Amino acid sequence: GESVGLHLPTLSVQEGDNSIINCAYSNSASDYFIWYKQESGKGPQFIIDIRSNMDKRQGQRVTVLLNKTVKHLSLQIAATQPGDSAVYFCATLRGAGSYQLTFGKGTKLSVIP
């Protein structure tokens, strides 16, 4: 069945270091992928997205890499800051023509000052 999972449930990094959060997906029909940041007690906040016709997309301090061959998605955060501490979820559309998202389990990122 369809699933979106994460390799690591928790990640601790030193302030200033780069963070890499990984995600595996199983639905080969997925053509749109999103990373969300969720702070405690708040709704998810959009970080960056990527379509299946791309393998890399960069934003401000964030980069998303997509490897369709192995169905793997990663989020890289450069120069991690204390404000980056949150739970990060990857999500994917269920399939072509679907607007419904399936969320991964989440990775809690803790930034050590």
Partner 1 sequence: GAVVSQHPSWVICKSGTSVKIECRSLDFQATTMFWYRQFPKQSLMLMATSNEGSKATYEQGVEKDKFLINHASLTLSTLTVTSAHPEDSSFYICSAFSGANSYEQYFGPGTRLTVT
Binding site for partner 1 (CB under 8 A): 32, 34, 36, 41-46, 49, 89, 93, 99-106
Task: Please say which residue, 73 or 93, places its beta carbon nearer to partner 1.
Answer: 93
Task: Please say which residue, 32 or 61, places its beta carbon nearer to partner 1.
Answer: 32
Q: In whole angstroms, how close is the CB of 42 to partner 1 at the nearest point?
A: 6
Q: In whole angstroms, how close is the CB of 46 to partner 1 at the nearest point?
A: 6
Closest CA to 46 of 31, 30, 64: 64
Tokens of 30: 């997925």
Given a contact cutoff of 8 angstroms between Cβ atoms, the answer to whether 53 and 67 are in contact is no
Closest CA to 109 of 3, 19, 49: 19
- Kindly give, in sequence order, each residue whose CB lies less than 8 Å from that of residue 82, ignoring residues fewer than 6 positions away: 15, 111, 113
Task: Please say which residue, 99 or 113, places its beta carbon nearer to partner 1.
Answer: 99
Q: In whole angstroms, how close is the CB of 15 to partner 1 at the nearest point?
A: 24
